Structure 1
Amino acid sequence: MTHHCHRCGTALPAAPPVDCPACGYQMFLNARPTATVIILDGDRFLSLVRAREPNAGRWDLPGGFCDGWELPADAAVREAREELNVTVRLDRFVGMYVGGYRFQDETLPVLDMFWLATIVDGQLRPDPSEATGHDWLPLADPPPMAFSTMDSALRDAAALLAGKY
């Protein structure tokens, strides 16, 4: 957590949101955007076994942080290409969920965005630095995922496909 002003370096009297007492700069702690795909094959979705911390070894979905000024939908397509070696077509937007991501000894707020997606090109070859394995799992009964926002998104995706939304 930053305890100094980003602009002038003065020690801050409290955690953000806070105004710097020296220069008046307003500091906020905003959620970092992520983009994730739920790739479907009938009533199953593609899940990866997470290769790195946090939550290494847990089931995961392909996705990651948006780059600065990158549109989240573009980030979702890029992440699928980088992690799986495939091109996806984004289908319906599932939703946005606020969660936490443990990184460098702090928990960062994240705004996780999820899309249903379909593979349209390429040979599925997960990047071994991202995943130690993969499988097609039932959307109606998914296992616990690496992050709670994924659990919520999968429940909402199943409801969306069942016409409950």
Structure 2
Amino acid sequence: MRFCPRCGAQTGDLPAVCAACGYAAYLNPRPTGTVIIVRDGRFLAMKRAREPRAGFWDLPGGFCDGFEHPADAAVREAREELGVTVELGEFAGMFVGTYEFQGERLPVLDCFWLATITAGEIALDPDEGSELTWLPLSDPPEMAFSTMDRVLRGSIIRNSSVRLVS
């Protein structure tokens, strides 16, 4: 059962308009920002250390904070998860997907950018990932989320000239 965030009256599933106060509540996708670091026909991936989808290959990225732009979230997430500074390149795509959280299936709006590492040594945050490797763009494995599968199979990624700066 859901309750109105304004007056606390009982409501139905979203979208819903509260019969008591008229407040309209919607189930909007949560935006994310993700980087795709490409080098020599490979992309940098990490194995997820936590649910959802622990043990699956993942790209560095995550949810936007408050009013944070997805591009800024992508840069922040790369710093938090890999310990590096990245420069965003070409926008690679935006896809609607799902994310399982606290027993709910939530809509997400996943935004992807090609990126280049400009500073720092890669140091994987163990809370985020258990393994880090370069995987082939020509035959990527199943990723943690379907939006990642879709962007990695797209023409922008396969034709990318982005290179890792050492």
For this structure pair, what is the TM-score category when the shorter chain's length is used for normalisation? over 0.9
**1:9-158 alignment, distance < 5 Å:** 9-12=8-11, 14-156=12-154, 157-158=156-157
Q: Is there any run of 5+ residues in structure 2 with no aligned partner, and where?
A: 162-166
* 2:56 aligned partner, one-letter code: R
Deviation beyond 2 Å, 4+ runs, structure 1: 157-162
- Please give the alpha-carbon distance, in whole angstroms, between the structure 1 residues aligned to 2:120 and 2:160: 25
Give the deviation of 1:16 after TM superposition.
1.3
Instruction: Give the SS at the match of 2:153.
Output: helix
Give the deviation of 1:140 after TM superposition.
1.4
Cα offsets for 1:5-59 (capped at 9, x unmatched): 01000001x2111110000000100000011000111211000010000010110
* 1:95 aligned partner, one-letter code: G
Give the deviation of 1:161 after TM superposition.
3.0
Q: Is there any run of 5+ residues in structure 1 with no aligned partner, and where?
A: none
Does the 8 Å contact 1:88/1:118 carry over to 2? yes
Cα offsets for 1:106-137 (capped at 9, x unmatched): 11110000001111110000100000001001
* 1:149 aligned partner, one-letter code: T
Q: RMSD between aligned alpha carbons?
A: 1.2
Give the deviation of 1:160 after TM superposition.
4.8
Does the 8 Å contact 1:140/1:158 carry over to 2? no
- Please give the alpha-carbon distance, in whole angstroms, between the structure 2 residues aligned to 1:55 and 1:83: 17
Does the 8 Å contact 2:29/2:108 carry over to 1? yes
- Please give the alpha-carbon distance, in whole angstroms, between the structure 2 residues aligned to 1:89 and 1:158: 16
* 1:148 aligned partner, one-letter code: S
Is 1:7 the counterpart of 2:12 in the alignment?
Answer: no
Identity of aligned pairs, percent? 61
Does the 8 Å contact 1:4/1:11 carry over to 2? yes
The normalised TM-score by structure 2 is 0.93
Instruction: Give the SS at the match of 2:79.
Output: helix
Cα offsets for 1:73-95 (capped at 9, x unmatched): 11100000000000001000011
The normalised TM-score by structure 1 is 0.93
